[in-house]
């Protein structure tokens, strides 16, 4: 406890290019160390026969399986199919969710009309709608796009709505005092002040979209990362399942990180979000 506190104090006190490599990247280096140690332990556990690789796979086996999938080209098709589904579903969710969220946040009556539907669907795990979606769309790509859309649109909508609704009254007063029209009030106050919430919605939506891909493809599909994992799992190809998990995790982390960076850029002006 004590040492941790001291480290933080030192970090704050020094802060500058003069610090050593270790001091500047301590957290990342500690993380890297932990992951490496875990991988080695995993690899050696299999090597010394402590666990059965049929169940656990191992880092070297996963790399080998991944390389084979790249070599025979099957991975590209799966990635492309999942990518297109994700792009369409997520894109559609943004196109629908952001304007609806803004309208619901801005117009009380519009909100009152749609709120029951939004609340009900937001509270329902969207995966529960999968059988219905299969009935409507079959098992081709449109079903996956639909489930990704439904998974993603509500977090985006609800967060955007909250952003518009929680505008500081003082800002509205200032805009009105300068004679702002409704449109100007919207463009110069409502929109910019809800950007942080909107971005949070986009980031949360991302996680839901990934769930949508995997579950949607496991439910019924002929290609895609989720489908690949499903078939590999059914035939005990643990290595290939692991490749799928790693791809999903890596994509999720990369996209989340990207959005996080955009968020930070926009929250520069928010005192409470700095540091």
Partner 1 sequence: MPLDMMDKAHDARAVKLSARGVRIDFWNDRIKRNLRVLDGVDLDVREGELLAIVGPSGCGKSTFLGAVDGLVKMRAGEIRVDDVPVDKPGADRAMVFQQDSLFPWRTVLRNISYGLELQRRLSSGEIRDRATNLLELVGLKGFGEHYPHELSGGMRQRVNIARALATDPELLLLDEPFAALDAQTREFMQVELLKILARAKKTALFITHQIDEAVFLADRVAVFSARPARIKAIVDVDLPGQRTLETKLQPRFRDLQERIWRLIEEEAERTGLLTSTVGA
Among 180, 218, 245, 259, binds partner 1 (CB under 8 A): 180
| Long-range pairs for 106-112: beta carbons < 8 A, 24 or more residues apart | 106/164, 106/186, 106/190, 111/161
Instruction: Say whether residue 25 binds partner 1 (CB under 8 A).
Output: no
CA distances from 214 to 92, 104, 151, 162, 240 (A): 18, 31, 12, 29, 15
| CA-angle at 225, arms to 221 and 230, nearest 5° | 60
Please count the residues of this chain forming the interface with partner 1, following the rule CB under 8 A: 21
* 28 vs 177 by CB, closer to partner 1: 177
Any contact of residue 178 with partner 1 (CB under 8 A)? yes
Residues 167, 217: Cα–Cα separation, whole Å: 40
**Coil, strand or helix: which one is 254?**
helix
| Contacting residue, 4, 177, 234, 265, with partner 1 by CB under 8 A | 177
108 binding partner 1? (CB under 8 A): no
Q: Nearest-CA neighbor of 253 among 261, 241, 265, 243?
A: 261
Question: Would you list the DSSP string of 88-153?
Answer: HHHHHHHHHHHHHHHHHHH-HHHHHHHHHHHHHHHHS-GGGGHHHHHHHHTTSHHHHHHHHHHHHH
- The residues in 123-162 that bind partner 1, with binding defined as CB under 8 A, are none
Q: Which of 176, 236, 246, 254 binds partner 1 (CB under 8 A)?
A: 176
Task: Please say which residue, 105 or 212, places its beta carbon nearer to partner 1.
Answer: 105
Selected binder of partner 1 within 141, 157, 189, 242 (CB under 8 A): 189
Q: How far is the CB of 180 from partner 1 (least distance, A)?
A: 5
Residue range at the interface with partner 1 (CB under 8 A); choices 3-11, 70-78, 102-110, 166-174: 166-174
Using CB under 8 A as the binding rule, whether residue 192 contacts partner 1 is answered as yes
Q: Does 183 bind partner 1 (CB under 8 A)?
A: no
Closest residue by Cα to residue 246 from 39, 27, 40, 26: 39
Least CB distance to partner 1 at residue 202 (A): 18
Q: Which residues contact residue 158 at a Cβ distance below 8 angstroms, ignoring those fewer than 6 apart? A: 101, 118, 122, 201
* Candidate residues 25, 108, 173, 260; the one interacting with partner 1 per rule CB under 8 A: 173
| Range in contact with partner 1 (rule: CB under 8 A) among 89-97, 168-176, 215-223, 234-242 | 168-176
> Does the protein bind partner 1 through residue 33 (CB under 8 A)?
no
Which helix (H) or strand (E) covers residue 64, if one does?
Answer: helix 59-72
| Binding interface with partner 1 (CB under 8 A) | 170-171, 173-180, 184, 188-189, 192-193, 195, 266, 268-271
């Amino acid at each position: 406890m004590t040492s941790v506190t001291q480290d933080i104090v030192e970090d704050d006190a020094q802060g500058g290019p003069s610090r050593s490599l270790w001091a500047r990247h301590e957290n990342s280096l500690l993380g890297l160390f932990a992951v490496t140690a875990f991988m080695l332990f995993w690899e050696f556990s299999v090597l010394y026969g402590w666990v059965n690789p049929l169940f656990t796979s191992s880092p070297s086996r996963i790399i080998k399986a991944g390389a084979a999938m790249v070599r025979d080209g099957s991975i590209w098709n799966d990635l492309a199919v999942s990518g297109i589904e994700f792009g369409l579903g997520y894109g559609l969710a943004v196109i629908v969710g952001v304007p609806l969220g803004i309208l619901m946040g801005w117009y009380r009556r519009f909100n009152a009309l749609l709120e029951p539907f939004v609340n009900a669907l937001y509270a329902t795990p969207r995966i529960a709608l999968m059988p219905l979606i299969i009935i409507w769309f079959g098992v081709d790509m449109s079903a996956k796009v639909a489930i990704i859309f439904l998974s993603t649109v509500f977090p985006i909508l609800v967060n955007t709505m909250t952003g518009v609704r929680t505008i500081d009254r003082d800002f509205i007063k200032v805009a009105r005092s300068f004679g702002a029209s409704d449109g100007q009030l919207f463009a110069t106050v409502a929109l910019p002040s809800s950007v942080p919430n909107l971005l949070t919605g986009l980031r949360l939506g991302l996680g839901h979209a990934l769930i949508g891909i995997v579950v949607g493809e496991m439910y019924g599909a002929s290609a895609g990362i989720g489908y690949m994992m499903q078939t590999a799992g059914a035939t005990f190809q643990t290595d290939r399942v692991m490749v799928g998990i790693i791809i999903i995790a890596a994509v999720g982390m990369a996209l989340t990180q990207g959005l996080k960076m955009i968020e930070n850029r926009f929250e520069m002006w928010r005192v409470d979000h700095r540091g």
